[in-house]
């Protein structure tokens, strides 16, 4: 596979800056209603997706230090968006779970993302939509495999 040219990289950079701005705005709007910063919003999503996870699990998934994540979880607990529980099987561990209010915030954030995706896909025709989704999934999968 050949290396992309400098011009191709520049073009894609500009396109992705516009593309991702839509998602950042959507995320910020959903988070702003609950006064969440970006880290807290993403931490809440992680906890909601993996009930019973620990602080270290969320920190690894987001690629941040455990101490940073502990502070984020503290803020989410104070706002009533996340609960800490001690599992009976291991009283030293702390299991995190999104509260009903926290799940509602996650649902609102996901709906904002879906609206942004709907807007982007609406600019394309049928086969173009299929191709965008295919290529985006390919890039995402490569990133998951540590290739990007």
Q: Are 86 and 54 a contacting pair, CB within 8 Å? A: no
C-beta neighbour count of 79 within 10 angstroms:
17
The residue ranges of every structural domain in the chain are 8-144
Q: Which residues of 36-53 are buried (b: 16+ CB within 10 A; e: fewer)?
A: beeebbbbbbbbbeeeeb
Rounded to whole angstroms, how far apart are CA atoms 27 and 38?
Answer: 8
* Res 90: pLDDT: 73
Question: What's the pLDDT score for residue 66?
Answer: 94
Predicted local confidence at residue 62, as pLDDT:
93
CATH topology classification for 8-144 = Arc Repressor Mutant, subunit A (1.10.10)
Give residue 14's pLDDT.
Answer: 85
**pLDDT attached to residue 44:** 95
Please say whether the beta carbons of 58 and 68 come within 8 A: no
pTM over 0.75: no
Measured between alpha carbons, how far is 96 from 92 in angstroms, rounded to an integer? 13
* pLDDT on residue 8: 83
Q: What is the mean pLDDT of each run of 10 residues along the chain (148 residues)?
A: 83 82 71 77 94 94 94 95 86 89 91 84 91 89 58
pLDDT at position 24: 73
Kindly state the helix (H) or strand (E) to which residue 95 belongs, with its residue range: strand 95-98
């Amino acid at each position: 596979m050949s290396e992309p040219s400098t011009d191709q990289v520049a073009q894609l950079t500009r396109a992705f800056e516009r593309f991702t701005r839509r998602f950042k705005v959507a995320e910020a709007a959903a988070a702003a209603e609950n006064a969440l910063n970006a880290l807290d919003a993403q931490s809440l999503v992680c906890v909601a997706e993996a009930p019973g996870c620990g602080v270290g699990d969320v920190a690894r998934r987001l690629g941040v230090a455990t101490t940073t994540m502990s502070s984020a979880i503290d803020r989410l607990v104070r706002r009533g968006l996340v609960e800490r529980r001690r599992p009976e099987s291991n009283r030293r561990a702390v299991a995190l779970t999104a509260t009903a209010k926290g799940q509602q915030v996650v649902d609102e954030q996901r709906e904002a993302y879906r609206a942004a995706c709907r807007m982007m896909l609406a600019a394309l025709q049928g086969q173009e939509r299929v191709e965008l989704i295919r290529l985006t999934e390919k890039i995402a999968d490569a990133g998951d495999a540590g290739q990007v």
